[in-house]
Amino acid sequence: MRAAESAPARQELLRVDNLVVEYAGKGFRARKFRALTDINISIGQGETLGLVGESGSGKTTLGRAVLGLAPVSGGKITFEGQDISHAGRKQRRVLSRDMQVVFQDPYTSLNPALEIGDILAEPLGVQGMEQAAAKKRVKELLDQVGLPSDAIHRLPREFSGGQRQRVAIARALALSPKLIVCDEPVSALDLSTQARVLDLFLQIQKDTGVSYLFVSHDLDVVRHISHRVAVMYRGEIVEQGPADVVTRDPEHPYTQRLLLASPVPDPDRQEKRRADRHRLLEEQRIQAEQAGVPA
């Protein structure tokens, strides 16, 4: 698995400024739940921003807000200079040509009753592409993600997890988008399959120039695929910068904990990491108690 190549400054594609996402509380007079607070990120054309954090940190909510699936309570989301913070259904349909998503579970995100060819042709038909052109495009997509041409007549259950994720990636690529939100796209796969799928993402980016917002809980994964990394903790971004800097020499204690939690193949190094993480957690717990704030 090769890392994303470093690149000069890129023309901005997506920008998020001071984003706030709140959900209504349950029950009468219940307080609103704030999922995201003052989020600021940007993604350039052909760039990957890795968004990393533990479960519940808010990283998936940020991806959903970009896609219009989570309410924007404050701040602004701009795509190619256009404010899409509160885009309506008609505007979102137009945006779907340029903005797609790959979900975590490749099986539940694919209709089990449809053949792969129909799954891939569906977004093309919605955008008005004629049947002959759609059929040709489906064959191109299968080739692009390394699946055989006979896959067109097979059902999702006939494929392995890695192959199903390739189908999901092909569907996301169908309309030649400019940005793909990747929501934990390899977390359900074994390590060897993860490496192959990550290499596929990198190759597709090299071939097409697509940008990724790559959401993951695994700092090692985002290190290999991202140009820049943003770290989320309790609905806020606590650290961001070049991937090689953030993932190898993090400044924020939370990022340091994530780094020490990543497994390594050497048992001695793993034991030292575990001891360092426990020490860091204890130090932070003591500091939090002294400051009177939750750790």
Residue among 13, 19, 216, 6 nearest 102 (CA): 216
Decide: pTM greater than 0.75.
yes
| Sign, CA torsion 202/204/207/210 | negative
Angle made by CA atoms 172, 150, 153, in degrees to the nearest 5: 75
Q: Which residues of 62-88 are buried (b: 16+ CB within 10 A; e: fewer)?
A: bbbbbbbebbbbbbebbbbeeebbebe
Beta bridge partners of 216: 52
CA distance 61 to 57: 9
CA distance 150 to 147: 8
H helices present in 145-235, as ranges = 161-173, 191-208, 219-225
For 258-276, what is each residue's pLDDT tens digit? 887 766 555 656 566 566 5
Q: Which residue has the tokens 């360092």?
A: 276
Task: Tell me what the pLDDT averaged over the chain comes to.
Answer: 88
The pLDDT confidence band at residue 183, using thresholds 50, 70 and 90, is: very high
Q: Which residues contact 220 (CB under 8 A, 6 or more apart)?
A: 247, 262
Q: Which residues contact 184 (CB under 8 A, 6 or more apart)?
A: 60, 103, 104, 215, 216, 217
- Looking at residue 255, the DSSP 8-state letter turns out to be H
Residue among 180, 178, 175, 92 nearest 134 (CA): 175
For 52-103, what is each residue's pLDDT tens digit? 999 999 999 999 999 999 999 999 999 999 999 999 999 998 999 999 999 9
Which amino acid appears at position 1 of this protein? M
Which amino acid appears at position 162 of this protein? G
CA distance 218 to 241: 16
Q: In degrees to the nearest 10, what's the CA dihedral of 106, 145, 149, 189? A: -30
The pLDDT confidence band at residue 200, using thresholds 50, 70 and 90, is: very high
- Domains annotated for the chain, with CATH where assigned, are 12-262 (3.40.50.300)
